[in-house]
Amino acid sequence: MQVNEAKIVIVGLGLIGGSLTAALRAKGYRGEIAACDRNPDEVARGRAMGLIDGGGIDLAAQLEGASMIVLAVPVLAMEAVTEKVAAYLPRARPDVVVTDVGSTKAAMRDCVVRVFGRVPPNVVLGHPIAGSEKSGVGAADATLFRDRKVILTPEADADPVALSRVRSLWACCEAEVIEMDVTRHDQVLARTSHLPHLLAFSLVDTLARQDERLDIFRYAAGGFRDFTRIAGSDPVMWRDIFTANRDAVLASLDDFEAGLKRLRRAVSEGDSDAMLATFDRASHARHYFDTLLNKTSYQAEYSMQPQGNVIYRMSPGGSAEGRIRVPGDKSVSHRSIMLGALAEGVTKVTGFLEGEDSLATLQAFREMGVAIEGPHQGRVTIHGVGMRGLKQPAGPLYVGNSGTAMRLFAGLLAGQVFDTELTGDDSLTKRPMGRVADPLRLMGAQIDTAEGGRPPLKIQGGASLKGIDYDMPMASAQVKSCLLLAGLYAEGETRVREPAPTRDHTERMLNGFGYPVERQGDTCWLKGGGALTAGPIDVPSDISSATFFLVAAAITPGSNVVLEHVGINPTRIGVINILKAMGADLTLANEAVVGGEPVADIHIRYAPLKGIDIPTDQVPLAIDEFPALFIAAANAEGTTRLRGAEELRVKESDRIQAMADGLAILGVPHTVVEDGIDIQGNGNADVASYRGGRVDSLGDHRIAMAFAVASLRAAEPIVIDDCANVATSFPNFVELAKRIGMHIEVEGAHG
């Protein structure tokens, strides 16, 4: 990103101003940089370091010819500087842009309004979320803003050209530029930056005034040093920040003091459950937030933190041999947490899927006051709070990329007494939620959605729900489960009729928790007002995850793969039935029923596949498995036809089109229709089935893994972009792919 400013003036040559100039110089900015600072020694040091072309203590002299002015002085000094800038502007260039780096935006906006009478369109306020306990231009760091967020808070009438130029300034420094409302900015920063600094100052000051202070500091461990490091920051700067952002800081301090009071009471009374809930919630929240900050998995709340691109580079060929166990079933993992939280007693879960979607569900219940231990190697212990024991979360519940979590939560939360908001990542906020919101409204729920029935979902608490008879227009286990969960809180009976069979994990698990769910034909129902009783849950391996290795073995000559302890719920075995119909050599062994769910080892070896017309009654039973099945079709002799699969259009991506686009790149003949696709396969095992190429997964984990499997029969390498979300459903996919003999290399955040 290039910065095309003729002359940039930095007002205040401290750490931030100096680092900005250092970053611009490092990126090859050739324009003029001048600085103004009340300390002439700092200006001289900046010139000696090669960061600025000139400068001095007279602001008016430096502003001549400026195309961009960056105010980087302490918050309480901003008004005097802004007045001098305002006095200069009548004779300035007509395209001059003014911005700042202040950490309290309401105070800065008020300052600008006092000086100008309004926020002029060419003034774009901003704040880089970066810093150090060091100060002065001598601490300037050209990498200070790299991969850090810069929050801009433009007014509604801001000049779009001015906004674009300020964005370019920070993008050149390799920062991630986002926009936010001024009030929201100050609230967020009060909690994430200002409050921690206040606590660190207070703790160090408190201990430093005690008689034992020498021993306290002499024997302090790393944790104390890490926490209190920020107490070495500039006292004057932080005095100004706390003064300028007083109201938001006090509000965050009130929240902290309330939490500290609760924890003190728990320690005083020896309330081990309350202590465990607090410590466990905090521990896992810290790990959860790490993924946001480090961009390793989750996208940040409200899309503040985009993920880096993870690329799979697949060499052609490879093998498919071995005995493996894929992660636990995501659908069962979600439901185990939800029902365990609402149960009376302690629920112990084994085989839990430690993927992003399931962890987001865990975190959401922690934020609603549920004590949850783990996960530790697939083991989770949930201290249930009962049907009415959930507490209002402090803010929106973020469910990442999980449509299952959002739709099931909608039903569960519709019956609570408190208001909630459900939000997710970029992909999820594009997916339709009217399919659950509309029938929930028929039950009496109060739900607001964004335009087009999309997230976020805002659910008003205290609604009086009534059971309904609902005929689903489209088969969907998520919609059915949502209504059954709402039915737990509804007066009377909730009945759901499905036009085709869908997965029945919710019904099975409710019965396992002692809550009766009846079924007759295509209709299931339950009565509201009951209770759930805790019990053990053993999560089977996920057949959706197993599918990628089933297809890998089915298309690779000489293959021999065993997948252990896979869930073979009758509502989920469409992939098994379809592969067998195509001629796959697939057998089941060690069949058993564990926790109400049937499981088996699946043994699959290579056999030539043939194209088929996929039976429409199998489509709902394999809806998540079709991306991988499309690859099987591309390696089968003849044409495979799919119809009645319009639901694939509204998954994490339009999976019909996304797969078709990738197949086109590989040279696989196909024809797309509204509700399906025809794929012309190459069943010749002696030659590669298709060429290679570069495929965009569109951030859809199943698209990414499907084309990874395709490489086994490709003539050339396949490069797959945007694979970070594989962690949502299959955290160790790359490890297992390598174990069976696939040639996969990963560039980016995970692997």
330 is in an annotated binding site: yes
Structure tokens at 7: 């002359």
363 is in an annotated binding site: no
Query: What is the rounded CA–CA span in Å between residue 406 and residue 396?
Result: 12
331 is in an annotated binding site: yes
491: helix, coil or strand?
strand
702 is in an annotated binding site: yes
431 is in an annotated binding site: yes
Q: What Å distances lie between residue 155 and 180, 267, 439, 567, 677, CA to CA?
A: 10, 47, 39, 54, 48
Given 624, 696, 700, 722, the catalytic residue = 624
Q: What Å distances lie between residue 53 and 66, 69, 368, CA to CA?
A: 13, 15, 55
DSSP letter at 190 equals: I
DSSP letter at 268 equals: H
DSSP strands (E only) in 246-343: 311-318, 321-324
The side-by-side arrangement of strands in the sheet containing 54-56 is 54-56, 32-36, 7-11, 68-71, 97-100, 123-124
Q: What Å distances lie between residue 606 and 21, 319, 499, 632, 639, CA to CA?
A: 61, 11, 35, 12, 19
DSSP labels, 576-625:
HHHHHHTT-EEEEEEEEEETTEEEEEEEEE----B--B--GGGSGGGTTT
Of 432, 457, 456, the closest CA to residue 447 belongs to 457
Preceding omega of 120 cis (within 30 degrees of 0):
no
Contact, 537 vs 312, CB < 8 A? no
DSSP labels, 103-129:
S-HHHHHHHHHHHHSS--TTEE-EEE-
Contact, 723 vs 311, CB < 8 A? yes
Structure tokens at 612: 């088929």
Of 423, 427, 417, 410, the closest CA to residue 485 belongs to 410
Query: What is the rounded CA–CA span in Å between residue 48 and residue 53?
Result: 10
38 is in an annotated binding site: no
Query: What is the rounded CA–CA span in Å between residue 383 and residue 280?
Result: 12
Contact, 549 vs 628, CB < 8 A? no
191 is in an annotated binding site: no
335 is in an annotated binding site: yes
Structure tokens at 231: 């107490």
Q: Calculate the CA 736 to chain-centre distance.
A: 24
Query: What is the rounded CA–CA span in Å between residue 435 and residue 502?
Result: 15
Residues written for the chain: 751
Structure tokens at 562: 């065993």
17 is in an annotated binding site: no
Query: What is the rounded CA–CA span in Å between residue 217 and residue 203?
Result: 12
Residue 624 annotated to the active site: yes
Radius of gyration of the chain (CA): 29
Contact, 505 vs 569, CB < 8 A? yes
Structure tokens at 226: 């890490």
Q: Which residues does the annotation place in the binding site?
A: 330-331, 335, 403, 431, 476, 478, 624, 651, 655, 702
Annotated active-site positions, please?
624
Enumerate the known binding-site residues for phosphoenolpyruvate: 330, 403, 431, 478, 655, 702
Q: Which residues are annotated as a binding site for 3-phosphoshikimate?
A: 330-331, 335, 476, 478, 624, 651
